[in-house]
Amino acid sequence: RGCRSCNSPCPSPFQLAALERQVFDFLGYQWAPILANFLHIIIVILGLFGTIQYRPRYIVVYAIWTAVWVTWNIFIICFYLEVGGLSKDSELLTFNISRHQSWWSENGPGCVRKEAPMSGIKGLDNHSYISVIGCALEYRYIEVMHSSFQILIALVGFVYACYVVSVFTEEEDSFDFIGGFDPFPLYHVNEKPTNLLFKQTYL
């Protein structure tokens, strides 16, 4: 079928965007986003497989997941903008395992990271106070832009997935798996009526 050559519901630039998000979340030890990104990548691969192998159900799973993915990214936006009592300084995204923050908090555009030794405080001789100055853009806005971009991609992927499923469904309705588009099966043979065969035999 012609649609077997269709692109996946999430083209390669979208997959690269998910991988890029995963890399920076790994660098920041953001465990909750890491798990969400991993699951997202798996579902994207499933949608790709469903498109190539003509499996509409897999594409439907991808379409449903996009709604979950949009919801997750809306939560991330609310988290960094501190909406509804959320705090970007909390350990929610690290499962309260560590106090790590977004990788962009110290490595954003223009950021300068400085370490000041805290030798004057007992018990902290081997620790340093880290300050970040000069950031051209606060890290939370970078995370918000990342999530907004993911939402945009998910919406485009959802529309494309629905389109592919509709095309597959139309083909299933019009394509006969035995006889193709021929209204009569290939194995159909026009046979003479039984009574005519008896007459020929009698003669």
Q: Where are the domains of the chain?
A: 14-81, 139-175
Q: What tens-digit pLDDT sequence spans the chain (203 residues)?
A: 444 444 444 445 667 888 999 999 999 999 999 999 999 999 999 988 888 888 889 999 999 999 999 999 999 999 999 998 899 989 899 988 888 889 999 899 988 988 766 555 554 445 565 788 888 999 999 999 999 999 999 999 999 999 999 988 887 766 545 444 444 444 444 444 455 444 444 44
User: Taking the CB of residue 158, how many other CB atoms lie within 10 A of it?
Assistant: 20
Q: What is the pLDDT of residue 169?
A: 84
User: Taking the CB of residue 135, how many other CB atoms lie within 10 A of it?
Assistant: 18
- Decide if 10 contacts 44 (C-beta within 8 A): yes
54 Rama class: left (phi>0) / alpha (psi -120 to 50) / beta: left
pTM above 0.85, yes or no: no
Q: Which residues contact 104 (CB under 8 A, 6 or more apart)?
A: 24, 28, 139, 142, 143
Q: What is the pLDDT of residue 13?
A: 66
User: Taking the CB of residue 155, how many other CB atoms lie within 10 A of it?
Assistant: 14
Structure letter (DSSP) for residue 129: E
Three-class SS of 54-97: CCHHHHHHHHHHHHHHHHHHHHHHHHHCCHHHCCCCCCHHHCCC
